[in-house]
């Protein structure tokens, strides 16, 4: 069902595409839904920055459902400033997330705990950019079965160029363009694949655990 694929440029199409949604992170969290495993998780949106500081697993879902072809764009950084969660260990995301147990319903219809394994039941694309205790950067296509997270060999990277650098903003673009699914970082392709049965609609969610990350310049573009 999955096949690794060489990069397909989408930058020109994104530049010419229509901006569907966005958040300037100056008006609170009304566009988002929080699922956090710890009540001590702190999430704020102000002065143009979304700040997530959590001692345990957390997913922040964008409430608006998406339909392919789209590109999800944002800047993100892992904070290292002496805080208790400043681990620089993971910057993760789900996109085009669907819940096969609730056909026709939003993936957000059932609230989840924030614990990572609780999301195995989704059909979704996932990327995890690692650092420090998390030594891999990976892309997966979840198939909606507990404990089953298929991983292509080319989608499991250990090279330093794929890892996090503390306090450095970088630009992520998550692509769902028909059967072309990809992750770009600062304009370079981290992962790309051809999905013969692509997920064409669903939700985007920011994901992290025991970490402190920040986002800015969030937008969703019709390709």
CATH classification of the domain holding 70 = 2.60.120.560
* Structural domain boundaries enclosing 188: 2-222
Gap between the Cα atoms of 100 and 4, Å rounded: 25
Gap between the Cα atoms of 114 and 109, Å rounded: 15
Q: How many domains does the chain contain in total?
A: 1
Along the 223 residues of the chain, how does pLDDT read in single tens digits?
555 554 456 888 888 889 999 999 999 999 999 999 999 999 999 999 999 999 999 999 999 999 999 999 999 999 999 999 999 999 999 999 999 988 777 878 888 999 999 999 999 999 999 999 999 999 999 999 988 887 877 899 999 999 999 999 999 999 999 999 999 999 999 999 999 999 999 999 999 999 999 999 999 999 9
State the pTM of this model: 0.92
Burial 165-187 (b: 16+ CB within 10 A, else e): eeeeeeebbbbbbeebbbbbbee
Gap between the Cα atoms of 157 and 134, Å rounded: 11
Would you state the structure tokens that stand for residue 95, as one six-digit string? Answer: 């996109």
């Amino acid at each position: 069902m999955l096949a690794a694929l060489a990069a397909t440029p989408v930058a020109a199409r994104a530049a010419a595409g229509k901006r569907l949604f966005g958040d300037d992170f100056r008006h609170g969290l009304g566009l988002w839904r929080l699922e956090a495993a710890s009540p001590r998780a702190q999430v704020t949106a102000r002065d143009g920055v979304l700040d997530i500081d959590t001692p345990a697993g957390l997913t922040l879902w964008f409430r608006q459902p998406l339909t392919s072809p789209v590109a999800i764009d944002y800047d993100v950084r892992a904070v290292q400033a002496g805080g208790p969660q400043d681990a620089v260990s993971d910057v993760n995301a789900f996109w085009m997330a669907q819940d096969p147990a609730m056909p026709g319903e939003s993936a957000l219809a059932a609230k989840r705990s924030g614990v990572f394994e609780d999301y195995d039941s989704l059909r979704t694309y996932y990327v995890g950019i690692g650092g420090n205790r998390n030594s891999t950067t990976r892309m997966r296509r979840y198939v909606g079965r507990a404990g089953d997270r298929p991983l292509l060999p080319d989608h499991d990277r250990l090279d330093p160029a794929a890892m996090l650098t503390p306090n450095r903003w970088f630009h992520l673009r998550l692509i769902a363009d028909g059967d072309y699914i990809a992750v770009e970082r600062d304009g370079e392709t981290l992962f790309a694949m051809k999905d013969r049965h692509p997920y064409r609609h669903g939700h985007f969610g920011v994901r992290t655990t025991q970490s402190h990350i920040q986002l800015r310049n969030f937008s969703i573009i019709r390709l």
